[in-house]
Amino acid sequence: MTVTVLSEVAAGAADLSVWPASTQRLPHGGLAVGGVSLAEVADRFETPAYVLDEGEVRGRCRTYQDAFPAADVLYAAKAFLSRAMVRWVREEGLGLDVCSAGELELAVTAGFPPERIVLHGNAKSPRDLEAALRLGVGRIVIDGPSEIARIAAAVGPEGHQKVMVRVVPGVSAGGHDKIRTGTDDQKFGLSLTDGGAQHAISRVLGRPQLELTGLHCHIGSQITEVKPYLVALRRMVGLMARVRDTHGVVLSELDMGGGHGIAYRPGEPALDLTSLARRLRAELHKGCAAARLTVPRLLIEPGRAVVGPAGVAVYRVLAVKHTGEKVFVAVDGGMSDNPRPALYGVRYAPRLIGRASTAASRTATVVGRHCEAGDVLAADVELPGDIRPGDLLAVPVAGAYQLSMASGYNLVGRPAVVAVHQGSARLLVRRETLDDFRSRDIGD
């Protein structure tokens, strides 16, 4: 496809700062991502569709590798996972962090080396642990005291498994109270405050078949400031020093988790990755020097920051309804493919694509097609006043925690995932159909 790029004056002043770097304006109000027209994607693959820019994903992987050259960067699979995503992450040199046997087995069957995978989870099932041990996962992160005996028993007296202990450092950070995981009032990890983490470490060290390689913490998600990470790191280094003093064991790894915040709308803050990397390294070396502690290898686990800005959701408008002073624009997707606005009150910046409009903008609320009053994709956003059924809306920053959290509500079916790269588009994940629902329903 030949892409003709309009001048900024002709195209208007719409802000594309949160869109993939490859995004280009086309004639007649169109947009191209990865050299492919989004309107053409909608026509070829139908809507709703999730468009994933392969070049953006790979570029963000490289940015992390460059920022953290002496660390292990693990992509958090929960943000979005497919066989293609596994391949991109592997080829760019990242490790992988998974939260279930399903994510783990998909990754390994797609060719990812299991020794470069870390298994998380606050409530690991027998199947999760069986898959981890059978496939030879690199690390298992212990999240609670009962897991110590369970993992040791599954490994057996002659077995061996590397593990880490997830510590709650008592740091509150994150964009919403439902995604703050560094304090004692949530389900993850072992508390530093009440001694739970220290007790778990002692128990792990007493199990010869378990090798404690280091400590792990994750303080929250959608964090846009560096300071909370530095506070958490100081507390983790202090605990590592106490482990050395108490048990004579020097731990070789420190995993600081992820949660790196991104901008969903123009003007919103995002975490400064360069500053984070520089200040984490400095704080780690300073703290270890003060404690006379060997500097551990740093691990980090970005997910959203790798794949989120690489994704665009494309919807078709089904109806426009004027109710009093409110304008509702209903599209052919909704909370079944993106529950995040209902869960966390997330705000997006949808945009009309596929045609130019000279109408004055007006405030509208983009809603989904589902039987829930809370099925709102974007509240109180500016859209052209002449928006109508059949129009296409594109929503940027749609690559993370949308399709991975999708449901079968109303049996609508989950959308297709389409990769775009260097002017070509290909289907990664096909659309879920009524036949898929029928095949699972085996009763009568």
Q: What is the pLDDT of residues 268-308, one digit of tens each?
A: 999 999 999 999 999 999 999 999 999 999 999 999 999 99
pLDDT band at 171 (very low <50, low <70, confident <90, very high): confident
Q: What is the pLDDT of residue 378?
A: 96
Q: What is the pLDDT of residue 444?
A: 83
Q: What is the pLDDT of residue 174?
A: 59
pLDDT band at 57 (very low <50, low <70, confident <90, very high): very high
User: How many angstroms separate the CA atoms of 354 and 391, rounded?
Assistant: 7
- Tell me the CATH class for 8-52+311-440: mainly beta
Q: What is the pLDDT of residues 181-220, one digit of tens each?
A: 545 666 778 988 889 999 999 999 999 999 999 999 999 8
Q: Give catalytic residue positions.
A: 371
Q: What is the pLDDT of residue 14?
A: 63
Q: What is the pLDDT of residue 186?
A: 64
Q: What is the pLDDT of residues 216-270, one digit of tens each?
A: 999 988 999 999 999 999 999 999 999 999 999 999 999 999 999 999 999 999 9
Q: Which CATH number is associated with domain 68-302?
A: 3.20.20.10
**Of residues 2 and 276, which shows the higher confidence score?**
276
Mean pLDDT estimate for the chain: 93
Q: What is the pLDDT of residue 364?
A: 97
What residue spans define the domains of the chain? 8-52+311-440, 68-302
Q: What is the pLDDT of residues 19-34, one digit of tens each?
A: 999 999 999 899 999 9
Q: What is the pLDDT of residues 72-127, one digit of tens each?
A: 999 999 999 999 999 999 999 999 999 999 999 999 999 999 999 999 999 999 99
Indicate whether 9 pLDDT > 70: no
Q: What is the pLDDT of residue 13?
A: 40
Q: What is the pLDDT of residue 6?
A: 40
**Of residues 350 and 345, which shows the higher confidence score?**
350
Q: What is the pLDDT of residues 368-410, one digit of tens each?
A: 999 999 999 999 999 999 999 999 999 999 999 999 999 999 9
| 140-156 mean pLDDT | 95
Which pTM does this prediction carry? 0.93
